[in-house]
Structure 1
């Protein structure tokens, strides 16, 4: 099974999207997070699409930096589950 991260990456490469400029990806991630917030406030019907964009940019950054985002999310969930607060 191909990971979501890999699918996102392969599409970026196929479409000729940015695959090298990490600061640009972080800026785009921020823009997409802001767009998701605006959708939540003003156009809830677009919230799912905007949140999906946030995930796509996060997955791209993970791929660009050599991280396995699925693994990192699992580790973080386990860490949060173990917290007592």
Structure 2
């Protein structure tokens, strides 16, 4: 399945508005994201597969909402970052650099 992140980000924000949730305070959203990552971690510790999937989705939803609040297309950002990561090399000490 290919996702249209632009549409999903807008859908996330519309849902937040519909429910009266925050759509402007980035710091608060980052704090909530931290909580969702913790819920994912707790589900992982319990090996609760259904809850792991749900919490993964929550983390992605929060990321999309934050990206939309910042005026950024998360899909484009991910693809750009993956290109950087694919060119990274690590030396024996773990120091990273880009391949030329």
TM over 0.5: yes
Question: Does 2:65 match 1:60?
Answer: yes
The structure richer in strand per residue is 2
Stretches of 4+ moved more than 3 A in 1?
Answer: none
Cα drift, residue 24 of structure 1: 0.9
Distance across 2 between alignment mates of 1:61 and 1:82:
27
Q: Any stretches of 5+ residues in structure 2 without a counterpart?
A: 91-100
Cα drift, residue 9 of structure 1: 1.3
Higher Cα Rg: structure 1 or 2?
Answer: 2
- Matched residue, 1:4: 8
The correspondence of residues 1-85 of structure 1 with structure 2, limited to 5 A, is 3-42=7-46, 43-85=48-90
**Count of aligned residue pairs for this structure pair:** 85
Distance across 2 between alignment mates of 1:26 and 1:15:
19
Cα drift, residue 80 of structure 1: 0.9
Cα drift, residue 77 of structure 1: 0.9
3-state secondary structure, aligned to 2:28: helix
Q: Any stretches of 5+ residues in structure 1 without a counterpart?
A: none
Q: Describe the superposition over 1:36-56 as per-residue Cα deviations: whole angstroms up to 9, x where unpaired.
A: 011011123200000111011
3-state secondary structure, aligned to 2:89: coil
The structure richer in helix per residue is 1
- Per the normalisation by structure 2, the TM-score is 0.76
